[in-house]
Structure 1
Amino acid sequence: MTVSLSTPSARLQRLLGRMSMYRMLVVLLLAMAAWSFVLSLAGALFYTPAELAATLATAVVSTLMASRVMGLLFRTFPQTDSALITGLLLFFLFWPTTDGVQLGWIALAGLAATASKYVLVWRRRHIFNPAAVGAFVMGVTGLNAPVWWVAAPLMLVVVIPAALLVLYRSRLLPMAGMFVLVATAVVVIRFASAGESVLEGLATALGSYPVLFFAGFMLSEPLTLPPLRWQRLAEAGVVGILFSVPFSLGPVFMSPELALLIGNLLAFAAGQRGGISLRLRGSRELTPTARELVFEPERPLRYRAGQYLELSLPHPSPDSRGLRRIFSLTSAPEDPQTVSVALRVSSPGSSFKTKLLALKPGARISATSVGGDFQLPRDSGRKILMMASGIGITPFLSQLRSPDAAGRDIVLVYSASSTAELAYADELAALGVRVVACTPEDPLRPGWTWLGAGLPDAAALAKAVPDAAERTAFVAGSPSAVAAARSALKGAGVRRVHTDPFLGY
């Protein structure tokens, strides 16, 4: 028997995966801006619609224009969605106004924020959150101090659901939760020490401080995050303390934007300290609908088996999927001269994949980051159960190719629409991996077990892998396949389940 592939969480993940993270942020920030106008028209917000409109237009136009200028100066494609996001964030930070001088300073903040993406870099990697840079420059110079008016209580009506969607889509809810917990706790303790009630401190922290907006839209900026979950939790804790404790260093006062910039420095120290440049060595067909691309890195790439790589490929007229895509690494970290990824090929494909697959050997492409916690346990004696659906086999290839897999007790349950779609089948056989194949036809591989079509349910899984309950499970594939496999694993008594859902593939 097979399990159902439809769950509410899987449907939500598929829906959110239809557009790039950047495009989703633009949509949500525009929705929040629209809500601010509704509140203003209803008299529920201190600022007039004219002040909101003037500030919004200034912030967005300045970042769009600065992005075009910087693109020309540095000979890169302008990042329209990124520029829109920066402008919209600045709109929520500075006091809305129609005063020409103050609007000029907001425009300058937009220029400073955009320039930071190109100037405040190390080996082609930008270090700081652009909006935080723009806000900090204005504040430290005294030209126009940010007020974070988005913390108005009635703005929470849209800030909370929008932030939750961003954090759910980016899988950063634990990190955001850590920040919110620490920042709120510190504010409550400060209020209690001053003789105020705990409830009043809690209401102030969540209703007057920009805690939730900061967690959902500032701290979560992907290019300024460390690669591992524990590092992100640590950064969130440090930033939460800095965010909520007022103090100064000489003329510089602690502020939300400065707290974030300090966190960005910590993240930079923990991650790839420099941009990632790759040269395409070649490609090969894995299945009728999948290809593997093999690159040579300009400098050795530090990563761990099971992690992902975000590729950046600027091109004219990108679709809603954007200019960046995340792919699981299939190469072994121990080979410093090889970086490989695999992807599903569909028709019609996204503009990104079309451009990527058209690259010729020798072409160069950049990557923005490496990250992920989908890694085998350090204890090599722990039994492993891998469950892959379709192109979800990719992170497991990196793990199985690594010498770290040698000697481990590993079972791979591999589901595909046909035997022809079993990517890396020859290599899996050569590696001696114990494979349980879930395909309509028997792949007829020596040593493999065939279960039939579709992912197994709990009973079939327990029968095929009798000691499943003793194993630590890792699941990768589409959101619906991951949800179904997780359900089957729980039903079979597996307690430790790590997942890696592939969005938008």
Structure 2
Amino acid sequence: MTAALDGLLGRITMYRLTLILLLVLTVEALVLSLTGLLAYTPAEIGGTLVAAVGGTIIGTRLMALILRLRPHGDSSLITGLIVFLIMFPSSTAAGLGGVLVAGIAAGASKFLLAFKGRHIFNPAATGAVVATLFGVGAAAWWVANAYMLPVVAVGAALLLYRTRKLSMAAVFLVVALGILLFNLVQGGMLPGAGLQLVLTSYPVLFLLGFMMTEPLTLPPLRWQQWLFAAIVATVFALQVSIGPVFLGPEFALVIGNAVAFLLGQRRGVRLSFDGSRQLTPTSTELVFRPAKPVRFRAGQYMELSMPHRGADSRGSRRVFSITSAPQQSDAVTFGLRTTETGSSFKKALLELPKDASITGTVVGGDFTLPRDPSVPLLLAAGGIGVTPFISQLRELAARGEERDVVLVYAVRSVQEIAFRDELTDLGTRVVVFMPSADGLPSLPDGWTYGGERPAAEKLLAAVPDLKQRKVLVSGSPSFIGNFRSEVRTAGVSRVRTDAFLGY
């Protein structure tokens, strides 16, 4: 089931998935209001929707015009819909004016409260905070109600699963529910009734799934995300006030965003384009000269920022796995899939003239090898998912460290095997899986053909000690889902993954 879900979600970018789920919630809210199941009239819901989305578009486009940048359409709609779902619905001029201010502040904050092209605070939460502090509006978080809970819960679960933030979610839920239930039980409420009240009246799931998963405001490492979740949960659940200001969920998230920014301080580095080489008919490795050495661990990624003409809905920032070894201080390289239907960012990246500069904004990720060199490893790559493993194998060679490593490499054809010569020179033990209609494919000496697809029995035949190996998997969500299912069938209990999320 997880393989099918990975395949389905992997076809949709995170921006588009979030937008679809928010539109579903918006339609549901309008229907519930028309049927009298919400405490707000259709006029209040409709007016608030127009003010929130309209204000966000105004704030975004105004700042983009002033700074001569291209506004991100999907992002503006997402922010506007979240503002709509959290601000107090109204049909009065004053009330709608407050929602409009929240929307404008939310849109403008992406540009005004930003560092090296990344906004620091969640825009919708920022808009609500601004409206509250100026006394023109307030956040009601009315999306937290019993009728909308099922859709919110499913949507939050899909977003958390798609972004692989389930461990962060667990930290948030344990802390937030723990504090809230403790206080309710102390007040005389039964635990079951308290849990029901929290889930139907507090925006626990919406805050977690739809707002805390925003990629641009998350710190880059897992432990930092856990700390971020714990801080937001604590401020949210304690429900404290500073003077006349109640620190609601929007304040909790903004405070957490500030801590996250300090934890993952972005020390941008200028990268000068030095050239490229074709890896396969559909993949390329790009080489850049950093203005200063880039510090990273093999297997991590770097976010690249490159404003360009005709930017599509995916924007001007993308994340790519680093393929160079950390020891290579004079260059940093990235491997990427290059297809005709690629994003505008990739197309602009591939058309860079020599010595053109872009910015590397942040290094992150926890997809690294175990520190204990005695642990036997199985690295499984689907297509261009081999890129983090190339960095790791290059690092092992640079350090002269020998490890028991098997690379399982699933590709569509012999021509799609990237880094073939280098893997041979490194002496890596490679097991290849690919369709082969004309008999056994021609592979380098020492390589093994495992079959057309990495099924459990084929994996065990090619790697008999599979159960004793630590398994790391990199590739598309569908590849990861299928491979994880097969190795679990083969008897492997835990698998580390590095999905390409496709923001």
Q: Return the TM-score normalized by structure 1.
A: 0.91
Q: CA deviation at 1:123?
A: 4.2
Matches within 5 A, 1:39-438: 39-275=32-268, 277-315=270-308, 323-366=316-359, 369-403=362-396, 406-438=401-433
Q: Distance in 1 between matches of 2:20 and 2:127?
A: 22
Unaligned runs of 5+ in 2: none
Structure 1 residues 270-322: Cα deviation after superposition (integer angstroms, max 9, x where no partner): 21424565332211100122111122345544432212334455555555655
Q: CA deviation at 1:340?
A: 2.0
Contact 2:10 2:477 in 1 (8 A): no
Corresponding residue number in structure 2 for 1:4? none
Corresponding residue number in structure 1 for 2:469? 471
Corresponding residue number in structure 2 for 1:3? none
Corresponding residue number in structure 1 for 2:498? 500
AA matched with 1:285: Q
After the TM superposition, which of the residue ranges 228-237 and 215-224 deviates more from structure 2? Answer: 228-237
Contact 2:475 2:498 in 1 (8 A): yes
Q: Distance in 2 between matches of 1:291 and 1:99?
A: 56
Corresponding residue number in structure 2 for 1:27? 20
AA matched with 2:471: A
Q: CA deviation at 1:114?
A: 2.2
Q: CA deviation at 1:425?
A: 1.1
Q: Distance in 1 between matches of 2:269 and 2:146?
A: 42
Q: CA deviation at 1:374?
A: 1.6
Q: Distance in 2 between matches of 1:316 and 1:355?
A: 8
Corresponding residue number in structure 2 for 1:484? 482
Q: Percent identity?
A: 50
Corresponding residue number in structure 2 for 1:5? none
Q: Distance in 2 between matches of 1:59 and 1:275?
A: 33
Tell me, what secondary structure is at the counterpart of 1:346? coil
Contact 1:124 1:275 in 2 (8 A): no
AA matched with 2:25: M
Instruction: Report the aligned-residue RMSD.
Output: 2.4
Structure 1 residues 424-460: Cα deviation after superposition (integer angstroms, max 9, x where no partner): 01111222222223354444423x2322542343333
Q: Distance in 1 between matches of 2:271 and 2:146?
A: 47
Unaligned runs of 5+ in 1: 1-7
AA matched with 1:21: M
Q: Distance in 2 between matches of 1:115 and 1:483?
A: 39
Tell me, what secondary structure is at the counterpart of 1:154? coil
Instruction: Rate the CA distance shift 1:480–1:58 in 2: closer, same or farther, 3 A.
Output: closer
Contact 1:243 1:259 in 2 (8 A): yes
Contact 1:384 1:409 in 2 (8 A): yes
Q: CA deviation at 1:325?
A: 3.8
Q: Distance in 1 between matches of 2:310 and 2:5?
A: 27
After the TM superposition, which of the residue ranges 206-215 and 494-503 deviates more from structure 2? Answer: 494-503
Q: Distance in 2 between matches of 1:76 and 1:278?
A: 21
Q: Distance in 2 between matches of 1:149 and 1:394?
A: 44
After the TM superposition, which of the residue ranges 87-96 and 428-437 deviates more from structure 2? Answer: 428-437
User: What is the total number of aligned residue pairs between the two structures?
Assistant: 497
Q: CA deviation at 1:80?
A: 1.6
AA matched with 1:415: A
Q: Distance in 2 between matches of 1:208 and 1:276?
A: 45
Instruction: Rate the CA distance shift 1:42–1:380 in 2: closer, same or farther, 3 A.
Output: same
Q: Distance in 1 between matches of 2:191 and 2:387?
A: 49
Q: Return the TM-score normalized by structure 2.
A: 0.91
Q: Distance in 2 between matches of 1:337 and 1:81?
A: 37
Tell me, what secondary structure is at the counterpart of 1:153? coil
Instruction: Rate the CA distance shift 1:19–1:325 in 2: closer, same or farther, 3 A.
Output: farther
